[in-house]
Amino acid sequence: MCVILPFARQRFTPMDMVAWKSILADRRRRGLWQRTERSSTRERDWILVWLPGLKDPSLRLERDAQGTYRLSFHDGKGWFQFRQGPEIIDCLAHVEPTDREDRAKRRAD
């Protein structure tokens, strides 16, 4: 007998993490991001990004219990949400790798 457990909506999916790791590798290679940290609760899953030279995180990508993705920026005073949508690409479209070969490959997929 097999028990199938539903995937928690507030968690990033395996495909989300593939997309994220592609962007992360590009940003780290170029020296644009210093480090990242992932945390989860029952309400949300999020990834914090530190930019070089800063002691506090500057970007936050999260997925909430309704499955909504949000990308926020910390301006030194608080978090400002600037992207939101039902798919991770709604938030990552403006931070995806800029390599032309990668873009052409994604269009072909």
Q: Render pLDDT for 36-59 as a digit per residue (tens, 0 to 9).
A: 999 999 899 999 999 999 999 999
Which tens digits make up the pLDDT trace of 87-102? 998 888 766 544 544 4
- Give the domain extent around 75: 14-108
Would 94 be classed as within a structural domain? Answer: yes
Would 8 be classed as within a structural domain? Answer: no
Would 98 be classed as within a structural domain? Answer: yes
CB 60 within 8 A of CB 48: yes
Would 21 be classed as within a structural domain? Answer: yes
Count of domains observed in the chain: 1
CB 68 within 8 A of CB 52: no
Would 60 be classed as within a structural domain? Answer: yes
Would 7 be classed as within a structural domain? Answer: no
Give the CA distances from residue 91 to residues 2, 50, 61, 82, in Å, rounded to whole numbers and listed in that order: 36, 17, 8, 9
Would 89 be classed as within a structural domain? Answer: yes
Would 69 be classed as within a structural domain? Answer: yes
pTM of the model: 0.77
3-state secondary structure of 49: strand
State the DSSP H helix or E strand holding residue 51, giving kind and residue range, or none if neither: none
